[in-house]
A and B are shown apart, each in its own frame.
Chain A
Amino acid sequence: MTILDLELDEDMLLHVESRVRPSLWTPGDHARASQVKGLIKEAVDKIGEISRIRAVHTIMPVEFLNGREIHTRAGSIMSRRFARLASGSTGELFVVFLIATLGQRASSLAEDQETLLSRLVFDCVLSETIEIVVQRLEEALHRDMAVCSREMTSRFSPGYCDWPLEGQRVVFSALDASSIDVELNDYCVMVPAKSISCVFLAASSVPSATPCTFCPLEDCAWRRDTHTGEF
């Protein structure tokens, strides 16, 4: 199990800012646009200042696989679509488990804001920040796997596609989340809230970056690109 302490660099913060702006777009109102832009900048700076980004990950061999689950010693990933992705892989099959968090202090930044607009902006920036952190970790894991001549899928998280939220228990059984101060409550919700848990499949070759390839739901809001895994 690997525990990482990470810093938000300038490039990541700029990336956050550019990704948040379209979702908080204020058409045709320049004064409001600059007010929102100012708030985004304030949120990005504050988050850069106080985030304590930590992550933990590990890799486990797949013990068995069938049409509806992928079993490791941490438990089973109950997803037909992800299992189908695994069944198309070649060579020894592994699951990489990952949890990352911005920490409690950053996660509660939004609720400290006085106005609804500030809360909205801070919440959006926090969500985008943890997404970008995980994206960076994913890129690093891809590079590590490439060194071992392995391919890896994009991330797959409990609560998405056909993997129920209760799947969090497998991820938390695979990793010591307390080492990065993340807990799972009785309802499989992570605390602090600005945390992400996910798994990846790794093998000599994987048929696609995402299970979306095998999914008939063409207009699914979460549909991702087969090759890049991007939404």
Chain B
Amino acid sequence: MMGEQEDSVEKLAFHTQMQRRIRSAVCCHDAETLRALLDECLVEKSPGEVSGILLDALEEQRLNFMSSARSLPEFILTIDTVNAALEQMRSLEEPRKNSDAFVRIVIGVVRGDPHDLGKNIIAGLYRAYGFEVIDLGRDVHQEAFSAALTTYDAKVLALSAMMSTTMPAMKEIIREVRITGSKVAVVIGGAPLDAEIARAYGADGYAQSARHAIEETRSAISRVFP
């Protein structure tokens, strides 16, 4: 009995210490240390548990970004750091792809629009949060979005447009997706958009910026897949 208790106290101490060290590595954007910590952690814990610790650390930084305690470059560096570290975890996470929690996202900039910086930031953010991202790039035609949703059986479609002239393509894409009956949560974002336009276009979520993308996407998923 005593042995079991000691064992669980030891495990808790390890967990707490790892949480603290991973948080610190994420906070300091130290990808090398973070990789080593994840390796160490994976000896004792499952990939899912390690992902959880990493996500908590990332979430802390995102909340700092939301409250403006962290600047955009710092938060982007956090995303880069986490994604670099996650590379080694992805191969270990294959079994997770069969679970209900696994979410695949198709993302792209609509046709005629070459502006992809915002989309790249959001795609990086999604990856860091453990979503699998199918990035179709920019200037993407409606057919390519529909084909990718079917091919990859994605739960989320994320569309970006930066110009008032390219933005209406989103409405056509959403309409097409609804007509085909695909069950998918559509999240849209971009400079000329606002929540009202997003609603009028039939989107399930409007990501005003990188600050809001994760929450909007999660709530769109929970609405479409209750």
Residues on A close to B: CB < 8 A? 24-27, 29, 31-32, 35-36, 110-111, 115-117, 119-121, 123, 159, 164-166, 185-189, 191, 193
Contact = CB atoms under 8 A, between A and B. Distances in A.
Interface string B143-157: 000000000000000
B71 A117 contact: no
B163 A159 contact: yes
Contacts of B72: 24, 120
A189 B114 contact: yes
Nearest to B112: A187
Given A159-B163, A165-B165, A189-B113, A119 B120 contact: yes
23 contacts: A24-B72, A25-B73, A26-B71, A27-B71, A29-B74, A32-B29, A32-B73, A32-B74, A32-B77, A36-B73, A116-B121, A117-B73, A117-B77, A119-B117, A120-B72, A120-B73, A186-B112, A187-B111, A187-B112, A187-B113, A187-B166, A188-B165, A193-B114
Contacts of A35: 77
B116 A111 contact: yes
B130 interface: no
Given A24-B73, A36-B73, A120-B73, A187 B120 contact: no
A187 B163 contact: yes
A185 B139 CA distance: 11
Interface residues of B, number: 24
A26 B165 contact: no
B22 interface: no
Given A117-B76, A119-B120, A189 B165 contact: yes
B163 A120 contact: no
Interface in B96-123: 111-117, 120-121
Contacts of B163: 159, 165, 187-189
Given A165-B163, A188-B165, A116 B112 contact: no
Given A25-B71, A111-B116, A189 B77 contact: no
A117 B163 CA distance: 23
Contacts of B67: none
Given A120-B72, A189-B112, A159 B164 contact: yes
B116 A120 contact: no
B202 interface: no
